[in-house]
Amino acid sequence: MSTVIQNVEVSKLVQARHNLVKAAKGTGEVISNYANVMCATFNVMTTNGELMTPWFELKGKAKAGVKAERESFKAEMLGAGFEQGTIDVYWQRVKEASGYVTSGNRVKGSNSVDDKTLTELKTIINRIFKAEESGEDCKSSDVKAQLIEAFEILGGDVDNLG
């Protein structure tokens, strides 16, 4: 059974979608503008105009203005009916638009297959050593020498095992 949507409802739907897309697109611009003003207001610059400390990394007394602005931001968002989770997400977006890199997006060493394999081999070999030390009889002990050899081939230091 198919449902027929009346033309009036379709035009309302199209307009509602258009409004949502327009507002969503504008959100990025508004966040970027707010972030730029936050940077201009609170970033610590050298006399040559080079960035010394971004506003989101300020500590102690230097952070007082940022804290006050955060509280004003929170109060205004609460007044507009937003909940704390939404407020935190928007504040995070402002920080990111200001140059902040979230911990999940920071580079943490190498992510190459060989480096990951080396790390995992070390974990596996150490697990076998620990099992043997506790008197456990495991089939893994039979291939321990080959695992250590692979560990060395990938650049691992055998002296760091165990």
**Per-residue pLDDT tens listing for the chain (162 residues):** 445 555 556 678 788 888 887 887 778 888 999 999 999 999 999 999 999 999 999 999 999 999 999 999 999 999 999 899 989 998 999 999 999 987 665 555 567 788 888 889 889 988 988 888 888 888 988 998 898 888 888 888 877 776
pTM of the model: 0.56
Residue 146 sits at the vertex; the CA angle it makes with 144 and 151, to the nearest 5 degrees, is: 95
- pLDDT per position as a tens digit, 6-29: 555 667 878 888 888 788 777 888
How many residues are listed for the chain in this entry?
Answer: 162
